Structures are given as structure tokens and as C-alpha cells.
Structure 1
Amino acid sequence: MDKILIVDDTPAVLQALSLLLEIHGYDVVTTTSPVEALQYANQLRVSLVIQDMNFTGDTTSGEEGKTLFYQLRELDPHLPVILITAWTDLEQAIELVKAGAVDYIAKPWDDQKLLNTIANLVALGKANQAKAKLLRQQSADDSTKSKASSVGLVYASAAMQRVVDMAVQVAKSDISVLITGANGSGKEKIAEVIQANSLIADKPFIKVNCGALPADLIEAELFGAEAGAYTGANKKRIGLFEAADGGTLFLDEIGNLPYSGQTKLLRVIQTGEFQRLGSVNTIKTNVRVISATNSNLLDAIASGHFREDLFYRLNVIELNVPPLSSRLDDIMPLVHHFLPNREISLSAENALKAHHWQGNVRELENSCKRVAVLKPTGVIEAIDFAFNQQMNIATPTRIAAQVNLISQTDGTSQANLASQTNTSKPATLEVSKEALEAAMRGEKGVIARVARQFGLSRQALYRRLDKYEIPY
């Protein structure tokens, strides 16, 4: 049932409009308070608002209604708002209609005209929703969608659909694919889509994080080792290429593979042959290689950190996964996937879409997990995601609206919330060149361990290594 919000300071008006609309099958919510009106619009997702222009006795300027109107428009730019008043101001009416008000009606109103206006607006809203849904369905072939969802990939954006379409298309071949994109954007899921839709979907699909391979054990990890080949090798070890024979080997973070490992990898990709560490016998293998990186490999080639010949072997087809900030249509489907059966307020939805999501889907998932623990029940608001504490949040006007709304509902002072909003970010950790060199030696060049030691992200560590010209 379509929900209509009526805001007026006169109880008799609320009663008359409620009776009129309820008789015609509408679900009506009423309030005399603009603050409550914002709360209802935020949490109940109403289809239409009918609002007065004055809410204080002896006030006829319409400024209160004007303020409420703009707050509603900021909350949801597509929400139809009908303005109704006993004190018609032509100049103000023209301004608000230009700003998006669908009608400006004088009291007393014409019942039939009002009902016709409401019916048309509700029907238009439904038509727009149906059209948007149809466009989403047309942008994604159902069979392609099902193939992607079978591996747990959740998306609704046209940008991600293009990536999935190409992934499904190249899946039937045996050529090498390089998947590029920022950390947490979904590169591994795209690799799974390729595998699931390939002719070898029932064959092994082995994943390896190249950044986590110990530099001195890369050869043993990739190609295996005979017993006694190195200290601690008490029995024969099967390598990743041998384990993936007939299937697919997914090399994640390929840009972090040391140069020596790149050379060995190039040979097996070129010839399909390798030898276990400590053996002279050649093993033939048939493995499809899919690799992924968040690094710019062309820059790595230019700086001498990545082999150009290996790059062209891996990059027969490149699939670039856009960052989440470029796929706004994916945000809410992902939120509902991570927070099933939970209500999300409009202010929270706006804040989620406004956030940059530097950590992409992984950051969004972690934020949703945090909310699920800290607020297990009730409507989820923007403040529940703690954007003001840990993220680069939305516009100052949205912050002010949230502070005002929260202060009215839970008694928190605006000054206190504003001080939280302006909390400065922690200082960036500076690490000396000597400390980095010692850590790289101690961890044998394993980037993940060094980054963890200093509490840095991989990208931050790489920037410092490049700054001090420390090889990795």
C-alpha cells in the first residue's frame, strides 16, 4: 500500500486529509512536527508528502515549510512533495515549484483535484520504478546474471555487467586473463566467474596469493620439491602447477611476485614444462593461468620490477574491475546481501553512496559486519556506520541534517556531535629507511608480513619502499 506523509500543525487538517486519503486506499502517516516528518520520511520511505508551510502559531511567512521542503529534497531528491497553505505567496510558490515541488495548493483545497494529483504522482512513481527495474533487467542477460550469482557475485551496475559479460565470453577459451583493479573490488570473484563458465569448470581451480609466497620457497610452492631438496623437505611435495593440471591456476597479486619467481613462471607458461626442486625429470602440465593485480604493471616494467615478456604472456585479455565508488548501483544490493532482512534509512543509503569506499567491497562488507554486531535490531541510520569517525563522509549539509535529526531523537547535543564529526584523522606512520630494510631482511621480502609489522597497507608500504629505493 502506498504510504503518504501529511505534515500540518492543525489537527483538524490532519484528520480531514487522513480520512479523505484512507477512504481511497492510501496508508497515511501524520505529524505536526517538521522534525518528526524528517524522521518518518527517512525511515518509512513514503511515496509522497503533503506539507503545510507554517508550523508555529501566528506565523505566515512560510519559511518553516520552505526549510522542511528543502530538507526533504536533500533526503530524497525524487520524493514528490505537495505544498498546501492558507497563506499563499506567489513568489515563494514559484521558487519552490522550480525547486521541485509538484504542486502548491491553497486552503481550503478541492478534494477531487487533490486526489487526482496524488493518484497521478503515485502512478508516475510506480511507473518510474518499473522502468528502472526493466532497464536493470535489460542491461543484464538473465543467464549471465545467474552464472555470476552462482559464485556469489552481487552487483546491479552496468559497469560490472560489462566485466561479467566479457568474463563469461573469454571463459570458453584457454587464453590467459589478467584481472586488474583496486584492492577489494572483486577480482577474485571475476576469476571464479571465468572458471565456473569455462570448459574445465569441473577441473581443479587453485588459488595462490603471490604476495604471500616466501621468496626462498617460491620454486617449491609453484613447482614442488623432491624429498631432501631443501632443509625441512622430508617428503616429496606437489607444487601448485602440478596440482592444477588440467584446470586453472589463479595467481593473485601477481605484481608482488619477486623477479626470480617471474622468470621461473614465464618458462612454465611458455613451454608447459617444469621440474620439481631437486629433480632432473621434466613434468608436462596443461594449466590455464588467470592472474590479478592491483598494481600498475606497466609502471613496474618501466622501473625494472616486472618482466615485460611475462606481462604479455599473462595479459592476453585484460579485465578491469571498476572501484566501488564508480559502481553506485552495486552499493545497496551489496548492503542488503551483507545485512539481510534489515531496514536501511534513506539518510544511511545517501551516506553509503556518498562515501568514497577506498577499500571497495571488502571495506563495505566489514562496515556492514560492524553494524550487524553493534546494532543488531532496528532501522540502520547513517550514524551507525560511523562515517564521521573512520571515513571521509558526505557534504557538510548532510552532516548538519544528521546532527539535527539525531539530537532531536536521542538527546545528544549538536555541539558534541559536531565535535565528533570534526575529529582529525590519525597521523600517518613514518618509518625510517633502516627499519624498512631490516624488516625486509627479517621477513625475507614477504610484503604482507612487513606491512603487518608496521601496521601499513600494502600500497602504503610500496610507496615507502619506492621512496627509499628499496628493492622488493
Structure 2
Amino acid sequence: MKKRILIADDDINIIASLKYVLAEQGFDIIAVTTPQSVLEHLEQQTVDLVLLDMNFQQDTTSGAEGLQLVSAVQRIDANIPVIVMTGWATIDIAVEAMQAGAKDFIQKPWNNERLLSAIKTQFALAQSNQMAERLNQQNKLLTGQTQLADENAIVAYSAKMKELMATLTDLAQSDMSILLSGSNGTGKSMLAAYVHSVSARAAHSFVPVNMGAIPESLFESEMFGHKKGAFTDAKENRIGRFEMAEQGTLFLDELANIPLAQQAKLLRVLEERKYEVVGSSKSHDADVRIISATNSDLLEQIANNQFRQDLYYRLNTVEIRVPSLAERVEDIPYLAQHFLQLFSVKYHRSCPALSDAALTKLQQYDWPGNIRELSHLMERLLFTSKKAVIDSQDIMLTANGERENSLDDPQLTMNEIEKVTLIKRLAFHRGNATETAKSLGFSRSGYYRRLAKYELD
């Protein structure tokens, strides 16, 4: 996408010369002749750099108008680099301009190489600062969430999974929206990360968002960002998820939990490929690839007027159903050993093996909690089994697919009891997050906060 430069000078000959030099370099140029026009343009559209004269018709020598304009630009958006120009160059004006927020100073008549070098330097610095800010915001918001996955991290020995991985690898080469459906705990988030990692967008950010954990009142702020002072608690600028995922992939997990009012706002962004930061009227381009996931029947929700049909069709250019763990029994031994090895490294413990009888027991269980349930079981076994080989009697499962009750253990802490209860209740409701939250008396956001607390999300 072309970089957009706003030129401000009251001399049309200067503007013509600058436009000729900069257009040849592939820049998109906007030219104005008054300070007021500069501010109006910045309020209405996105600009990557401002190149402005220090003197206009009211005052042609002191640079006062230019200094005031630099300060005004900074108040609108302190991240826009400003380069000032004047034919009345003095050290004092240069120092004052830099103190007001200008990033560089060019004397007229200018040298083209010096001018282009200054502009390109500011673009490079701005890009570096934006990336640092995005990473900082991502670290704050996404701690503990899905990391990028490569093909080696995904266990796929069964025919169903081999077919699924081949399909996703092909789809990754396109830019179409993908909807991943299937029960909770089937690994949809890891598969979304894999698609990103083998796509043309892999060099940019993969940003997962748990839509069920975002309070309705903060939806726009979380997704599109906000400006400092946009509302009572907006004490600093905040980057939204769309900006974090710029040129990368935005993963919308728990899609069915988006309230209807917010679905309309999301649909508008997906249709127009533009969004506004809360507290700003400027439109930003949304260059992101969308992958979404749900464990709900969206067609049923559409019939019940709980989900917008137009949003559904916008998000599922292609829909891929992820099989449950019970449908890929051949993968269970490999997954179980994979998790044991991961947790043994995490907790600095020796990694036990699984006996044939233990593997048979695992394969006979129906896994209502899917891969997530298997992962938690292997983590627990690493601590409860002190043997080099885990046998079938060490695995606390019953034949009808329900984990044996472990709440009677008098050594459990309150947090451990709450975690076990969450796991058991989620398994009872077959992974249905809405029913699980309702049965426990939690709000949707409260339920997801507890999942995150116990690393169950």
C-alpha cells in the first residue's frame, strides 16, 4: 500500500515541485495551502507523514505559524512524523520545531536526495515504533494464548486428520475466510495458527481473540482500539486487535458468543475493509485474513435470530469441521505421549511411558472434553504416577466415559476444586460453553475469565 504524504505550503510552485519529486518515488500525495486545511485532512483521513512549510501568508519569516501547526498535528496524532521546511532557516527555528514535535528539518531550496532520505528514515522509524507498540500490546493482551504452530506440533496420523491437514495447507495459500467448526477442545485454535504459519502472511502477526471473553460494552475498544480520553477509563491510547493483526491473521474464537449488536459492527468492517478507532473519525484499512471458530450450530442460531446470516456467509467462504478425538482414535497414543513429553520438559520431570493396557484404556474412552481433556489428564498423571511406566489402573477413567470423582480428595485446595468442577461440568455438557456457564451461575465473561485462570481456554 502506498505511503500517503500530506504537503502543506502556500506556494503552489513549491507544491508542484514536491509532488513531482515524491510521486516519482511512488508516494500518494495530498497538497494543501493553509494550516486549517492540514488539520481538516488529518481529522478525516489517515496520513503517513506531514511535510509542511514553517511560514504561511500571515507571517512569512518568524516560523510561528509553522510551530503552532506542528503542535496541533501532534495533538491530533502524535505518531505522525512531521518534517518542516523553510527558506528562512535558523538554528533557533530548527530547535523550536523539534521541541514542538517535528522529526526533521529541511532548508529550502532543498536537495532531493536529502529530502528523500529524511522521508524514508521517518517511515522506517515509524514502522519500527508501530511494531514495538503492537508487540507490547500483544504481550499484555495475549499472554497465555495460542502460540504459532508448525506442522510438526500437530499430531495427525489418522486418515481424518491427514485429510484435514492437506485441506488446510491448500487453503492457507489463499486469502479466503475460514470457519472452523467442531466441539470444544478439538484443537481449532492450533489449526488456525498452523494455517497462518504456512500462509503468505506468516511474517506478520497471528492475533487470537476469545470473543466470549470480551464484555459487550468494550467490544469496539478491544477490536478497533481507542484514543486517550475517548471515554472515562481511556487513560491512554490502545491498539485494537485489527491493528495488531495488520497484514497478518485475526482468529475469532468462540464466534457464536458475539452479541447481535456487535455482529453488525464486525460485519461492516469485513465488508468495507475499514474501521475507526474509538474517539477518532479517521478510517483505517483492515488488511487482515479472518479465521474463525465455533462449537455452536450457527445455522440453528440464525434460525433463532441469534446470529446474522450475512455475517455467517461473510465468515465462511469455506467451512471446515474439525473431528472430535473419538473420531481419530489412532491419534490418541501419539497425542498422549506428546503431552507427557511436553509437561515433563515444562516441570523438569522424567517422562514416563504408557503401557499397552493404558493405551487401550485411553482409546476406549470417548473423550467428551477432546484433546484438552487428554492434555489435562496427562499433566495430572505426570504428578500422580511415580512409575516409569503408566499402567491402566493409574488412569482415572470409567468405561462409560466419565472421569472418576476426584473432589473427595481432602488435600485439594479451593482453586483445585474449582478447576476440577469446571472440567467435570464442561465434560458433562459435552463442551457447550453456554450451558456450562449457565449451570454454574457464571456470566459469559466471568466463565471465560475462570477458564483463563486455570489455563483451560
TM-score, normalised relative to structure 2? 0.55
Alignment partner of 2:394 out of 372, 384, 387 = 384
What does 1:339-378 align with in structure 2 at a 5 Å threshold?
339-340=340-341, 341-378=351-388
Aligned to 1:270: 271
Q: Distance in 2 between matches of 1:181 and 1:236?
A: 37
CA contact under 8 A between 1:207 and 1:252: conserved in structure 2? yes
**C-alpha distance in structure 2 between counterparts of 1:266 and 1:321, whole Å:** 25
Q: 1:264–1:211: structure 2 CA closer, same or farther, 3 Å change rule?
A: same
SS of structure 2 residue aligned to 1:178: strand
Determine the C-alpha separation between the residues in 1 that align with 2:332 and 2:255.
28
Could you say which residue in structure 1 is the equivalent of 2:316? 315
Instruction: Tell me the equivalent position of 1:242.
Output: 243
Query: Whole-Å Cα distance in 1 between the matches of residues 355 and 403 of structure 2?
Result: 16
Q: CA deviation at 1:347?
A: 1.7
Q: Cα distance 1:365–1:243, how it changes in 2: closer, same or farther (>3 A)? A: same
Aligned amino acid, residue 284 of structure 2: I
Structure 1, unmatched stretches of 5+, are: 1-146, 395-424, 459-472
Secondary structure at the counterpart of residue 175 of structure 1: coil
**Residue by residue, what CA displacement relative to the aligned partner does 1:191-216 show, whole Å, maximum 9, x if unpaired?**
11110110111111111100101111
- Distance across 2 between alignment mates of 1:380 and 1:173: 44
Give 1:159's aligned residue: 160
Task: Flag the 1:439–1:386 CA change in 2: closer, same or farther, 3 A.
Answer: closer
Contact 2:352/2:382 (8 A) holds in 1: no
- Matched residue SS, 1:325: helix
| Counterpart mapping for 1:327-342 below 5 A | 327-340=328-341, 341-342=351-352
Q: CA deviation at 1:363?
A: 0.4
Seen in structure 2, the aligned counterparts of structure 1 residues 178 and 151 have a Cα distance that, compared at 3 Å, is farther
Cα deviations by residue, 1:118-162 (Å, 9 ceiling, x for unpaired): xxxxxxxxxxxxxxxxxxxxxxxxxxxxx9754621221110111
CA distance in structure 1 between the partners assigned to 2:384 and 2:400 by the alignment: 15
Give the stretch that moved more between structures: 160-169 or 340-349. Answer: 340-349
Relative to structure 1, is the Cα distance of residues 449 and 168 closer, same or farther in structure 2, using a 3 angstrom cutoff?
A: closer
Task: Please give the alpha-carbon distance, in whole angstroms, between the structure 2 residues aligned to 1:437 and 1:189.
Answer: 28
| Counterparts in 2 of 1:277 and 1:151: CA distance versus 1, 3 Å | farther
Q: Which residue of 2 aligns with 1:448?
A: 447
**Would you say the 8 A contact 2:224–2:278 is kept in 1?**
yes
One-letter amino acid matched to 2:357: S
Alignment of 1:69-108 (within 5 A): none
Matched residue type, 2:194: V
Report matched runs for 1:26-65 at 5 Å.
none
User: Is the contact made by 1:151 and 1:196 (CA closer than 8 Å) also made in structure 2?
Assistant: no
Pair 439,356 (structure 1): closer, same or farther in 2 beyond 3 Å? closer
Q: Percent identity?
A: 38
Which has more radius of gyration?
Answer: 1
In 1, Cα distance between equivalents of 2:403 and 2:360: 10
Report the CA distance shift for 1:439/1:232 in structure 2 as closer, same or farther (over 3 A).
farther
- CA–CA separation in structure 1 for the residues paired with 2:438 and 2:179: 30
Partners of 1:439 and 1:150 lie apart in 2 by 39
Secondary structure of the equivalent of 1:291? strand
CA distance in 2 between partners of 1:450 and 1:199 (Å)? 33
Counterpart-to-counterpart distance in 2, 1:225 and 1:379: 54
Match of 1:388, SS?
A: coil
Q: Given that residues 148 and 164 in structure 1 are in contact (C-alpha distance below 8 angstroms), is that contact kept between their aligned partners in structure 2?
A: no
Relative to structure 1, the CA distance from residue 272 to residue 162 in structure 2 (aligned partners, 3 Å threshold; closer, same or farther) is same
Looking at structure 2, the residues matched to 266 and 151 of structure 1 have their Cα atoms a distance apart, in angstroms, of 35
Alpha-carbon shift at residue 439 of structure 1 (Å)? 6.2
CA distance in 2 between counterparts of 1:382 and 1:308 reads 48
**Distance in 2 between residues matched to 1:388 and 1:179, nearest whole Å:** 31
> Do the aligned residues in 2 keep the contact of 1:439 with 1:450 (CA within 8 Å)?
no
- In structure 2, relative to structure 1, the CA distance for the partners of 1:369 and 1:450 (3 Å cut) is closer
SS in 1 for 2:398: helix
| Count of matched residue positions in the alignment of Structure 1 and Structure 2 | 271
Q: Which residue of 1 aligns with 2:128?
A: none
Offset at 1:438? Answer: 13
**Whole-Å Cα distance in 2 between the matches of residues 346 and 167 of structure 1?**
33
Distance 1:238 1:178, change over 3 A: same
In the TM superposition, structure 1's runs of 4+ consecutive aligned residues that sit over 6 Å from their partners are 435-440
- Would the alpha carbon gap of residues 346 and 321 (structure 1) be closer, same or farther in structure 2, given more than 3 Å must change? same
Counterpart position of 2:284: 283
Distance 2:377 2:303 in 1: 37
Decide whether the 8 Å contact of 2:326 with 2:366 is kept in 1.
yes
Aligned: 1:304 with 2:308: no
**2-side partners of 1:375 and 1:245: how far apart?**
46
Please give the per-residue CA displacement for 1:62-93, whole angstroms capped at 9, x wherever unaligned: xxxxxxxxxxxxxxxxxxxxxxxxxxxxxxxx
CA distance in 2, matches of 1:385, 1:161: 28
Secondary structure at the counterpart of residue 358 of structure 2: helix
1:210 and 1:256 in contact (8 A); partners too: yes
Q: How much has 1:222 moved relative to structure 2?
A: 0.5
For residues 236 and 349 of structure 1, the distance between their equivalents in structure 2, rounded to whole angstroms, comes to 52
From the superposition, tell whether residues 327 and 376 of structure 1 become closer, same or farther in structure 2 (CA, over 3 Å).
same
- Looking at structure 1, the residues matched to 205 and 397 of structure 2 have their Cα atoms a distance apart, in angstroms, of 42
1:361 and 1:439 map into 2 onto residues whose CA distance is 26
Deviations 1:394-441 (A, max 9, x none): 9xxxxxxxxxxxxxxxxxxxxxxxxxxxxxx99x89xxx9x969967x
Instruction: Verify the 8 A CA contact 1:223 1:239 in the aligned structure 2.
Output: yes
Secondary structure at the aligned position of 1:318 is classed as strand
Distance 1:319 1:329 in 2: 21
